[in-house]
Structure 1
């Protein structure tokens, strides 16, 4: 009986992976990831400027700016972020000196990236009805605000646990495990936010959580692989110098967007299979 159940579960998992992959192929997910990668280069400075502006709203969050930058350099794009991120932060600081028209242009650039991402999500979900402009702006603003706030809260808890460990205070096993999974939890929260808010459809918490978990595992594996190939990147930098950080960062960004869009495809597929007996509205 256990063997039969195992075979059935394996077949169901294979069937799910196949459906997700076919959905991703039909919607040209790899091309969409490449488009979002290029759009991210244009929108990186505006988004960082907006995030820093939100983190400066309160003194408690303002103190987290350096911790935020340190976290990004440590956990995102291993092998290149320590070169690329400082430049982006410097550009962001210079952006504060722009006139009003320039600031509006920066915000518009960030909104274009979010609009492009939303279009990809709606296409993957096969949703034809579009949101009204007001609803889009509210969704974009929620992503730009909730993302940094969730990250700030997570980093605050992370820093509190770290301070206890440095003081030699013994923590419960649950908190110790949470400390070890700190970066994974942050990946999960960010993926859950965009997977829950972006689709213009009824979204279930349980299915979205499952998709965010898979996506967070994928990004964690990606960062582990990049970290393990640090020596390869070092050899690459011998030839290209500081410029080597840019192509490495682009490769990481491309794969990151691919994983994000695959998690969106998984989320859409799970909702489709869950609603199939009742309705076919996602087709």
Structure 2
């Protein structure tokens, strides 16, 4: 494990848990700033916890919403601290992915901040817009003859959203140019593993409730940590696949060039 992928995943999981409440607070504050997304923000909360957290998402949702409600009472200095903590997660993701890509080139600080802020602002807004579209499709199913088509679209919507999210992550964050087709393939593999892992993890928790027997009401803590760690393993594995595709192509081209140069 030359890139120490499991160690990177552990670091990202730790930072993610520290940044989870600040990140959610910043995202929902952005939705509050746009009245047009007031209804969508509620749908987005349910969508995130239903599709990105396994089994115990409802319990985790209650705790996080309680923490976020408490964070709304903070002063301006505390709010700035929340934003800095959320940006810390962005920096950790940036550092981990560029380690996998073995990129030594550093972005200007201003540019890095702009990229992180764009992810924090445009990401939730795009998710809200896509969720609004899916809600519109859901309303059409009762008034059209396209019920089967719309049902199929809604069924694969979480997979498509994960695929697009991973593709953007692998395309934008590295400081070197990433071939688009490599990013698409790596993102698709990561999205499939994420959806399969989500269902498998939920099945494990349901069939083997050992965490709940041992930890009781605190079982949500190790479950959340294991799931976040597993998620980052999938994200970094998709990045490794993306890098490997590019390196394989370069080696193949070099071998073909050597064959052409031989007399």
User: What is the TM-score normalised by the length of structure 2?
Assistant: 0.89
Mapped contact 1:33–1:254 kept (Cα < 8 A) = yes
Give the whole-Å Cα distance in 2 for the aligned partners of 1:272 and 1:142: 30
User: Which residues of 2 match residues 36-185 of structure 1 at below 5 A?
Assistant: 36-165=12-141, 167-171=142-146, 174-185=149-160
User: Which residues of 2 match residues 159-238 of structure 1 at below 5 A?
Assistant: 159-165=135-141, 167-171=142-146, 174-232=149-207, 234=209, 236-238=211-213
Deviations 1:94-119 (A, max 9, x none): 21221111111111111111111111
Mapped contact 1:195–1:264 kept (Cα < 8 A) = yes
Mapped contact 2:211–2:223 kept (Cα < 8 A) = no
Q: Which residue pairs with 1:251 in the alignment?
A: 226
Following superposition, the deviation at residue 274 of structure 1 comes to: 3.7
Secondary structure of 1:121's counterpart equals helix
Mapped contact 1:122–1:200 kept (Cα < 8 A) = yes
Deviations 1:52-80 (A, max 9, x none): 12222322322112111111221122122
Secondary structure of 1:181's counterpart equals helix
Following superposition, the deviation at residue 235 of structure 1 comes to: 5.2
Following superposition, the deviation at residue 34 of structure 1 comes to: 0.6
Deviations 1:40-59 (A, max 9, x none): 11100111011112222322
Give the whole-Å Cα distance in 2 for the aligned partners of 1:154 and 1:32: 31
Following superposition, the deviation at residue 243 of structure 1 comes to: 0.5
Following superposition, the deviation at residue 204 of structure 1 comes to: 2.8
Give the whole-Å Cα distance in 1 for the aligned partners of 2:208 and 2:85: 31
Q: Could you tell me which of 230, 243, 251 is aligned with 1:268?
A: 243
Give the whole-Å Cα distance in 2 for the aligned partners of 1:29 and 1:173: 41
Following superposition, the deviation at residue 83 of structure 1 comes to: 1.2
Root-mean-square deviation over aligned CA pairs: 1.9
Secondary structure of 1:64's counterpart equals helix
Secondary structure of 1:229's counterpart equals helix
Secondary structure of 1:56's counterpart equals helix
Q: Which runs of 5+ in 1 are unaligned?
A: 1-24, 279-283
Q: Provide runs of 4+ in structure 1 moved above 3 Å.
A: 172-176, 232-236, 273-278
Q: Which residue pairs with 1:30 in the alignment?
A: 6
Deviations 1:115-150 (A, max 9, x none): 111111111001011111011111111221232122
Following superposition, the deviation at residue 234 of structure 1 comes to: 4.2
